[in-house]
Structure 1
Amino acid sequence: MLPAANDNPDGFQEPAELVALNERLLSYADGLWDASWPLQSTKSPELIKRIGCELQSLLNQWCLKSESDIRKTSSKQLLALKDPRLCRTLPLLYPCLEPGHCKWGIAIIREPNAVVASLLERNGDDMSPLKGFALWMRYNLDMVKCRSINPQISDWPIISFETLLKDAPGTLQPILKQWDNKGLFVEHQPEQELISKTAKSVPDRLSGLPKHWLELGQKFHSCLRESQTLNDVPKSVIQAVEQWLETTPELSHELLALEARRRAHLAEALAAERAKHVLSWRNL
């Protein structure tokens, strides 16, 4: 699992192998985890297919380990995957996965300002409120568009991260009941108490963005909160968000300028590091 961080002391609960695999996949599709532009899925089809096969192999290994644990404990266990990058990579990975791996899932949404605040804390100068906001829009847009992969994914329930923290049992029980009605029985183990928490209060990080952009983000977030499943999210808001991300010159210019500054800072840091090594070598 990925280690904990200052902004997430309890850990991310994300398998490091899955994260690394998704990072490679994003790079092959002309993207990174912090890219808000559309992925180019046709650029490296063979490489993308290879990564999909690697994921299937990983799943097989994890399932074998789970089956071994089941034999030891005489209890059935489920294997769940968590990585926000799946919002973007699932359409590329899905054709390589065995049927049934994506039958059950939960789409978790989070308040945009909280996401931006977390990104700023974790990434420092490599992040900005605008870039964080664009990433929130892109990831949630691509998550919703995953519903087109197959009807099973379109039926994935949507829940709020903040609501889940506040009342985990009350948030999850309706979903477990729905799954039970569809043939998947999941029982919470009484000895493992679900701990409710209060979402950390964060300062407003989005106040400097254009008002009409914020209004679109708020509308998108409201539509997500009001939708029971991915299939329920209105097409009109999906189209509006997609149009904003891909056809707004002011947004593109700002994001390109941010990326240029980031690369310039990286180049300066690398040059300083090289100069330090050269100086050390000369002093030998």
Structure 2
Amino acid sequence: MTEVYSHSYPSLENDIPAVNRSLTESTLIVVLGMHRGGTSAITRAMETIGADFGNNLGNPVAGENDKGFFEDLDIHRINAELLHAAGASWDSLATIDLDRIAPAVLDVFRERATSVLREKCRTRIFALKDPRLSRLLPFWMPVFERSGIRIVYVIAIRNPISVARSLKRRDRFSLEKSCRLWLAHMVPAIRATDGQRRVLVDYDTLIDAPIAELTRVSTCLGLTLNAQRVAVYAQEFLDNRLRHWQFTPEEFDAAHAAPQLAQRLFQALRAMLSHKEEESRSALALALRDAEHYALSQQEPTRTPAAVQSISKIVSAAVRAMRAVRLF
């Protein structure tokens, strides 16, 4: 059976030219994870290893993310436009199909994304976060590789029940929808970064033991930890009141309404963080496979909205015309 999450990822070894890392000192830290999954706090933690977030961040929202989202608005805008062009939204349960976007339109998106990324990553460490990235990696990974920047990944892990409770309060989502969305973000994040330099970070562990967790993260990513910044982060930024919901793995087991696939994947990821990586790899592989098969079984045929088709045709024609007169 076709694996719905992984079939469209690029082969980083065969399809994209190798980058001479000696030509750049820039590092891009890509934070992946689910909405309400701790990505904001984890992204803010990247400052302790020298990361910058740029000067074009969205504003904090009281009662939702009081201390900020740490999302670059230029990248956020590209992701939102990509989803719209594909006839999807951030909470779509169906797989995001970029083939629904005209090739010429995708080319424009790629050129724009590459230009924006290179500008933000000039001779520094830049942390990039938007939960939408997890579902748009087939678009972004070739952009990352072609940018000539050293790429490392940080994958935020949070108990799906905690995520679901947060989404229920904010968006009135059902437990089933939230867990399906959790899978739709976590499966491609894990699949696509396999073999890349990455580290998994448990949100609850970061709040409970920030110094130990950030020491581990810096070692895994090969970046220097700044003790003074760690102290500021732990004492001034972290606040247990930001963690409105916290459930243990045992409590997840007791939540019978939660999809079993989300439970299995969460447990496998927790095992990977418990120094049991080798013995948990088979469990993780099975959980990923079953989640992909489940997602495929839930897919329904969709059509690109007429308005999106029309816009794509117009933009494609405009791009061809501009290239003909060498404006691109």
- The TM-score, its normalising length taken from structure 1, stands at 0.69
Distance 1:238 1:203 in 2: 22
Structure 1 unmatched runs, 5+: 68-76, 257-284
Contact in 2 for aligned 1:88/1:142 (Cα 8 Å): yes
Q: Is the 8 A contact 1:4 1:10 kept in 2?
A: yes
1:19 corresponds to which letter in structure 2?
A: H
Aligned to 2:97: 40
Q: Which residue of 2 aligns with 1:109?
A: 157
Instruction: String of CA shifts for 1:164-192, please: whole Å, max 9, x gaps.
Output: 12222211212212333xxxx32315156
Whole-Å Cα distance in 2 between the matches of residues 207 and 223 of structure 1? Answer: 13
Q: Secondary structure at the match of 1:79?
A: strand
Partner in structure 2 of residue 187 of structure 1: 225
TM alignment of 1:125-140, pairs within 5 A: 127-140=173-186
Q: For 2:187 and 2:80, how far apart are their aligned partners in 1?
A: 19
Q: Please state how far the C-alpha of 1:34 moved relative to its aligned partner.
A: 0.5
**Alpha-carbon displacement from aligned partner over 1:163-220 (angstroms, at most 9, x marks no partner):** 112222211212212333xxxx32315156221443333699x999864x53322111
Between stretches 139-148 and 240-249, larger displacement belongs to: 240-249
Residues of 2 paired with 1:202 and 1:189: CA distance? 28
* Aligned mate of 2:136, from 52, 65, 89: 89
For the 8 Å contact 1:116–1:132, the answer to whether it is kept is yes
Distance 1:17 1:102 in 2: 20
Letter in 2 for 1:201: W
| AA at the equivalent of 1:89 | L
CA distance in 2, matches of 1:172, 1:189: 10
CA contact (8 A) 1:49 1:93 kept: no
1:61 aligns with 2:119: yes
SS at match of 2:129: coil
The match for 1:160 among 187, 194, 202 is 202
Match for residue 169 of structure 1 among 204, 211, 221: 211
**Residue 221 of structure 1 aligns to which amino acid in structure 2?**
F
Deviation at 1:14, TM superposition (A): 0.9
Alpha-carbon distance in 2 for matches of 1:36, 1:163: 29
Asked if the contact 1:164/1:171 (under 8 Å) is kept, the reply is: yes
Q: CA-atom RMSD, angstroms?
A: 3.2
Instruction: Provide the rounded CA distance (Å) in 2 between the counterparts of 1:122 and 1:102.
Output: 36
Which residue type is aligned with residue 263 of structure 2?
Q
Structure 2: gaps spanning 5 or more residues: 1-56, 303-328
Higher helix share: 1
Residue type of the alignment partner of 1:200: H
CA contact (8 A) 1:158 1:225 kept: no
Looking at secondary structure, tell me which structure has more strand per residue: 2
**Amino acid across the alignment from 1:118:** S
Distance in 2 of aligned mates of 1:137 and 1:194? 29
- Partner Cα separation in structure 2 for residue 208 and residue 159 of structure 1: 24
Q: Does the 8 A contact of 1:220 with 1:237 survive in 2?
A: yes
Q: 1:101: Cα distance to partner?
A: 3.6
Equivalence for 2:77: 20
C-alpha separation in 2, matches of 1:162 and 1:32 = 28
Provide the secondary structure at the position in 1 that maps to 2:213.
helix
* Partner of residue 218, structure 1: 263
Q: Counterpart amino acid of 1:237?
A: A
- The equivalent of 1:120 in structure 2 is 168
Q: For 1:224-243, list aligned pairs within 5 A.
A: 224-228=269-273, 232=281, 234-243=284-293
Contact 1:2 1:16 in 2 (8 A): yes
Q: Considering only CA atoms, is the larger Rg found in Structure 1 or Structure 2?
A: 1
Residues 1:248 and 1:42: Cα distance change in structure 2 (over 3 Å): closer
| Superimposed CA distance per residue, residues 95-115 of structure 1 (whole angstroms, 9 cap, x where no aligned partner) | 233255462121111111121
Q: Which has the higher contact order (CA 8 A, sep 6+)?
A: 2
Aligned length in residues:
228
**Which letter does structure 1 place at the counterpart of 2:58?**
L
Identity of aligned residues (%): 20
Q: Distance in 1 between matches of 2:150 and 2:260?
A: 33
Provide the residue aligned with 1:30 in structure 2: 87
